[in-house]
A and B are shown apart, each in its own frame.
Chain A
Amino acid sequence: MVSGKPSNNQPSKFGKRINFILILLCLSLVFLGKLDLIAVRNLKAFMSDFLAPITFLFNKPVKEIADVLEDVKSATSLRDENIRFKSEIRRLKVWKSKTESQELELLELRELLKVIPKKNNEIITGRVFTAAGGIFANTVLINVGKKDGINIGQPAISSLGLVGYVVNVGISSSRILLIIDINAMIPIYLTDSNWPAVVQGQNGELLKIRFLSSEAKPVEGEVLETSGHGGQLPSGINVGNIVKSFSGNYYVKPTVNFQKLTYVSIITNFNSKHSSKNIFNGFAPLQKPIPSIGLKGINSSGTRRSESLKN
């Protein structure tokens, strides 16, 4: 058995003081980081940029091994999957014929109503090179950055739905805050009932639904999409489905599998310029009430004033 040598590493008075200073430094760094100062953000971006190739080098073989293991695992269930896919194809064919006729109808209706066509998204796709699992944070690094036109606040999507949004940008790498992170809050609406709400990550698998009206009655399996409220994210991006817990509370299961993220697309023509935060230019002076034309003794809401009633 390994035995520890007699210790001669007793911390001196100076060492103890250094230890105390370092703990204080850590605490101040934590709170400084929370203030989201530009200097701290830039330092983080620079360090992410610097560490990106090293991380990629280390993560690549492990990711390959994980993929091989996953392949081996899925090979055992090939027959069952084949049957499932066949039935799925049959179902999708029926859906396809239905949607084709509905699409034509939709186009005609849009033409009739003169609906302004939705702007097409401009996207830049980057490769994810870190795993998402962390206890205090759920973020991923991608290999596109400022030089590719990425900015803070831009939404990140995959083929399945919303992944998160950009929180830090370096020259050649960007960090994406995933929607499962505790700091991520996404304005959504329930697609069946149109009720708006906000979903918040919990650093776990499911998202918490907040600010949902008590009148709303969510249905298990109901699809949730981004509402576009607040102007930070475009509307209509798939977020997840409603699931019911054992306790009877409703949660959201994201459609994106964050463990299998390989490529992520950033919508570059929808950035934080749209947010009300950035167009804030100070407080506007209070407006004088607009003189409205009304009958004598009747207020703006159309009811009779009390003083006129006395007279």
Chain B
Amino acid sequence: MNINSIFYFFNKFSNNILCFFLLFFLINIETSFGFFLIFQNSTPSLLSIAIYLSLRKFSIHLSSFSLFTLGILYDVLLGSNIGISSMFFLLIKYFTQYLKLSFIENDSSDDWIYFTFIFISSFIITFSLNIILTLTIPDLSPILFHLGTTLITFPFILISINFIYFITKLIKN
């Protein structure tokens, strides 16, 4: 193994570690939103937005193992069934990768629609699994609130990122 490949693996590893800690920070932020009165029943899924944007906009290849571990930590923090959030995050990653390779152009302006499709399909799978586990259909209002707030938050984050990018581009020029 030459020095270049060692450096490459080291670089990849450090990037993954950095992403892992950033996403872990985001998990904590997301769970602490529950203290606000408006997010009393459920909080928006910031992590799914982060996973989508990192793959789609920044082309950061998030390791599946990192997402799996993050999901486990998320479940431990919230007290839900271990593995359910890991599956959700991994599904978001796989769907985004699949859509990116198959359909989406790099400079697509329909990100919100793609995200809606990916998020809702991943959520439906995990939600169905949860129904199978509990054999009961839960109250749908917190779930719809969760879906709604996530889908509303997404364009705001996207616009903010584009705005920051635009400003930095202006400064550079």
* Chain A residues within CB distance 8 Å of chain B: 1-7, 9-11, 15, 18-19, 22-23, 25-34, 40, 44, 47-48, 51, 54-55, 58-59, 62-63, 66-67, 69-70, 130-137, 139, 141, 167-168, 175, 177, 182-183, 200, 202-206, 259
Contacts and interface: CB of A to CB of B under 8 A. Distances in A.
| Main secondary structure on B side of the interface with A | helix
A58 B82 CA distance: 22
Given A4-B58, A44-B82, A133-B34, 17 more contacts: A2-B162, A3-B106, A9-B59, A26-B86, A28-B83, A30-B84, A30-B129, A32-B82, A34-B133, A40-B82, A51-B76, A66-B36, A132-B34, A134-B42, A137-B78, A200-B136, A203-B138
Contact of A133 (B41, B65, B94, B162): B41
Contact of B76 (A47, A67, A167): A47
A271 to B, nearest CB: 20
A284 B33 CA distance: 52
A95 B44 CA distance: 45
Contact of B35 (A3, A131, A175): A131
B87 A27 contact: yes
A66 B162 contact: no
B90 interface: yes
Nearest to A205: B41
Contacts of A134: 34, 42, 78-80
A10 B61 CA distance: 10
Contact of A130 (B65, B77, B83, B134): B77
B35 A66 contact: yes
B83 A27 contact: yes
B13 to A, nearest CB: 16
Interface string B9-37: 00000000000000001001101111111
A180 to B, nearest CB: 9
Interface of B: 25, 28-29, 31-37, 39-43, 56-59, 61, 64-65, 68, 71-73, 76-84, 86-87, 90-91, 94, 97, 100-101, 106-107, 129-130, 133-134, 136, 138-139, 141-143, 146, 161-162, 165-166
Given A30-B81, A33-B82, A134-B80, A10 B58 contact: no
Contact of A203 (B64, B94, B142): B142
9 contacts: A4-B57, A6-B106, A10-B101, A29-B72, A30-B129, A33-B82, A133-B43, A134-B78, A175-B79
Nearest to A183: B134
Contacts, number: 177
A191 B41 CA distance: 29
A6 B58 CA distance: 10
A59 B83 contact: no
A139 B82 CA distance: 14
Contacts of A136: 78, 80-81, 84, 130
Given A23-B90, A30-B87, A4 B106 contact: yes
Given A5-B59, A7-B59, A139 B79 contact: yes
Given A29-B82, A204-B41, A135 B146 contact: yes
Contacts of A183: 134
A206 B57 contact: no
A55 B77 contact: yes
Contacts of B91: 23
A183 B100 CA distance: 38
A176 B100 CA distance: 42
B160 to A, nearest CB: 11
B28 A58 contact: yes
